[in-house]
Amino acid sequence: MLYKCRVNLSPPPNGLGEPATDLSQPATDLLELVSLVIRGVSGNRDLSLTAAAALSSLDRYGAQRITTMATAEGVSQPSMSQLMHRLEQRGLVTRMSDPSDGRVALVSLTDEGRAALAARRARNARRIAALLADLPDDEVRSLASALAAVLPAIRQRVGSDVLVTSGIAGS
């Protein structure tokens, strides 16, 4: 097991005098699953995780200021500037003046950047499918049911309005 920790994620009693469900083990298992999936799809990376996250943010929300992106990704503004410069050199993003403040640059995703992101998502989806390929059909159906139940709630809580289907983002 990659992650072994004791965390009390139990919510307070449910108002009926009964303790609510203990979520510590499912949370730990999910954290391990996320880590394993990232490791399973990360071979031969064409983009760093930060670069992929930044491109995804541009795809999701449109043109943004570098400072906004740096804050969202938890990196310094100079680091995000350097990353955007490298992505711009590769033709994945473009900079333009902010119409509301000409002193500020906005970064947006190019068609080439959108295509690179779609290709990465499709490749990762194929890799994950390969990791799951030998599971019995009933386990695949159980996984699909669990994901159908959990993903909408997690999307809502995290604030993601992007639904990824077939490895390609869509709304």
The DSSP secondary structure of 34-86, one letter per residue, reads HHHHHHHH-TT-SS-HHHHHHHHHHHHH-SEEHHHHHHHHT--HHHHHHHHHH
Q: Per residue in 84-132, pLDDT tens?
A: 999 999 999 999 988 888 888 899 999 999 999 999 999 889 989 998 9
Residue 48: predicted pLDDT: 86
Residue 14: predicted pLDDT: 55
Domain ranges of the chain: 48-146
In CATH terms, the fold of domain 48-146 is Arc Repressor Mutant, subunit A (1.10.10)
pLDDT-flagged residues of the chain (< 70): 1-19, 44, 160-171
The answer to whether the CB of 107 falls within 8 A of the CB of 66 is yes
Residue 42: predicted pLDDT: 75
pTM of the model: 0.71
The answer to whether the CB of 97 falls within 8 A of the CB of 106 is yes
Residue 98: predicted pLDDT: 84
Burial degree of 18 (CB within 10 A; 0-12, 13-18, 19+):
exposed
- Cα–Cα distance between 77 and 96 in angstroms, integer? 17
Longest dimension (CA), the chain: 60
